[in-house]
Homo-oligomer: A and B are copies of this chain.
Amino acid sequence: MNLLSFQDVLNAHQLIKPYVHRTPVLTSSLMNQLTGSDIYFKCENFQKVGAFKARGGCNAIFSLSDDDASKGVVAHSSGNHGAAVAYAARERGIPAVIVMPDDSLKCKFEAVASYGAEIIQCKPGTINREAAQDVVVAERGMIPIHPYNNLKVMAGQGTAALELFEEVVDLDMLIMPVGGGGLLAGNTIVAKQHGIKVFGIEPDLANAAFQSRKANEHIKLDKSSTVADGLRSSIGDLNYAITKDLVDDFFCVKENAIVPAQKWFMTRLKQVIEPSCAVPVAWLLTQPEIIKGKKIGVIITGGNADL
């Protein structure tokens, strides 16, 4: 069964091009020297809404039929997905409701509001968030946009690797953080089209994909408290199904390595990254043998950090 194809990502790229940045690919001789490898960072922290999520949000919303689009969209999110849906809805000129737990960061509320979306606050926790979203769907008929367990979202996220591989050829491997697996699914499809290895990196405290690989079955964990707030979700059903035979390996990083890696990256590479994005950076800095001498793509996923 072919849930998600390379062609889906190519189609997404054509569709979302007018609404997202082609982000720069940057290198760091310091990072190369430290790790003994040749690393290319695809800088989605410079993407619209400050994260790769703009790609998936735009693809999901611009893929809606005019009829569905006219109903508006709803998402629940404390973070970048909410901003992405709000942004994409504004670009398409349709209404959006973002359900946000009332403990979300002030800057996240501001970001969503700045795109003109209606915000509905709820108590924290997945159950409360989903319940609040269900009410919006039931009462107002809006279309829910899932942050990762959605094929259009995955295809959108995959356009990051598509652009990276256009610019940098002969990569040996692609490295990215894993939460719900939207980024992982889309970009793995593209990497495998090019014969490139894929490694997913998770925080020790939220390593559902790593555990699923070990157990050879889909394991979901209770929501984690890792500082990498974008990676607290377990890998989704579709995401697991699509990636389980394709990803080469998963690795975990210690919780206490994440914030130091974030600070190190900001100080030395002069780019603002969020904690979730620091997870693969932390792993690279442990200088694993597997990356030595290799040409590596790394997706710098987002820069929405609370400075």
Q: Smallest CB–CB gap between A8 and chain B, Å?
A: 27
- Across the A-B interface, the 10 shortest Cβ-Cβ residue pairs: A270-B303, A270-B272, A45-B270, A24-B24, A266-B272, A267-B307, A266-B307, A46-B270, A50-B270, A272-B272
Copy tally for this chain in the complex stands at: 2
Complex Cα–Cα for A273 and B267 (A): 10
Query: For chain A residues 65-119, which have a beta carbon within 8 Å of chain B?
Result: 107
A271 at the interface (CB under 8 A from B): yes
Which of under 10, 10 to 19, 20 to 34, or 35 or more describes the interface residues of A? Answer: 10 to 19
- Chain A, interface SS category: helix
Complex Cα–Cα for A263 and B266 (A): 13
Q: Smallest CB–CB gap between A83 and chain B, Å?
A: 13
Q: Smallest CB–CB gap between A304 and chain B, Å?
A: 8
Interface string of A5-49 (1 = CB under 8 A from B): 000000000000000000010100100000000000000011010
Contacting residues, chain B, for A45 (C-beta < 8 A):
270
Contacting residues, chain B, for A29 (C-beta < 8 A):
48
Interface string of A123-161 (1 = CB under 8 A from B): 000000000000000000000000000000000000000
Complex Cα–Cα for A46 and B270 (A): 7
Contacting residues, chain B, for A303 (C-beta < 8 A):
270
Greatest chain B CB density within 10 A among A24, A263, A271 is at A271
Residue of B nearest to A107 (CB): B267
Q: Smallest CB–CB gap between A164 and chain B, Å?
A: 15
Q: Smallest CB–CB gap between A42 and chain B, Å?
A: 13
Complex Cα–Cα for A67 and B286 (A): 43
